[in-house]
Structure 1
Amino acid sequence: MEFKDKQSIYLQIADYICEQLLLGKWPPGDRIPSVRDLAGTLEVNPNTVMRTYEYLQGKNIIFNKRGVGYFTDEQATSRIREYRKERFLDSELPEFFRTLYLLDISIEELQRRYKTFIETAYPATL
């Protein structure tokens, strides 16, 4: 995973985990990788992954079964969608609209490109 400078690494890992859940790779109620396993996969310090897991527990997206590991909450996908949708609409969408306006990109062109993107990136969902 390649990390960006604009956001804390633990939050980027949280976004990665949330994406795995939204894509159905880690279904609700299933066990997720251990702190050590995920740290090794992402090549980060286990303390960073632990911070991510604590953050996601606070959002009720994952929970810990003592001695067994971390699991996804049954309502994780709906909670993730709510949280990410709010974040997108409040902070990312205004900047996106500004860019569309400055570059004179029409909604029609955007719709066309969005449709092509979905067909290419997620063909199994159609």
Structure 2
Amino acid sequence: MQFRESQAIYLQIADYVCERILLKEWKPGERVPSVRELAVQLEVNPNTVMRSYDFLQQQEIIQNQRGIGYFVAPEALQQALHYRKDAFLEKELPQVFRNMYLLGMNTEELKPRFDHYKKQHFA
């Protein structure tokens, strides 16, 4: 995984977990990789993954079952959608709007490109 310098790594890992849930690769009730497994997979310190998992528990996206591991929470899809949507609207969209304004673009120009992107990547 390529990490960006503009955001804390533990939040990027939380976004990664949310993406797996939103893409329905990890379903409610399923076990998620252990802290060590995900740390090895993403090549990060296990403490960083633990911080991500703590954050995701606070967001009610994953649950810890003592002695067994971490699992996708029953309402994880809705919680992950809410978390990611809020983050997008607050952090990313203002920059998109700024760039659109500077480039003299409007939303009508984006719709065909968005539709094409969805067909290519999520058909």
Q: Sort the TM-score into its range (normalised by shorter chain).
A: over 0.9
Q: Name 2:27's counterpart in structure 1.
A: 27
Determine the C-alpha separation between the residues in 2 that align with 1:6 and 1:91.
11
**RMSD after superposition:** 0.9
- Which ranges of 4 or more aligned residues in structure 1 deviate by more than 2 Å? none
Sequence identity percentage = 52
Mapped to 1, the partners of 2:49 and 2:91 lie a distance apart of 25
Q: For residue 51 of structure 1, what is the aligned residue in structure 2? A: 51
Superimposed CA distance per residue, residues 28-74 of structure 1 (whole angstroms, 9 cap, x where no aligned partner): 11100011110000001111111111111111110111111100101
In structure 2, runs of 5+ residues without a counterpart are: none
**Between Structure 1 and Structure 2, how many residues are aligned?**
123
Instruction: List aligned pairs for 1:1-126, cutoff 5 A.
Output: 1-123=1-123
The Cα offsets for residues 83-110 of structure 1, whole Å up to 9 and x where unpaired, read as 2212222232222111111112232220
Between stretches 23-32 and 88-97, larger displacement belongs to 88-97
* Partner SS state of residue 87, structure 2: helix
Residue aligned with 2:18, SS: helix
SS of equivalent to 1:29: coil
Structure 2 distance, partners of 1:35, 1:91, is 28
Larger RCO, structure (CA 8 Å, separation 6 or more): 2
- CA distance in structure 1 between the partners assigned to 2:25 and 2:38 by the alignment: 14
TM-score, length-scaled by structure 2: 0.95
Distance in 1 between the 2:44 and 2:70 partners?
A: 18
Q: What is the distance in 1 between the residues matched to 2:74 and 2:108? A: 38
Letter in 1 for 2:6: K
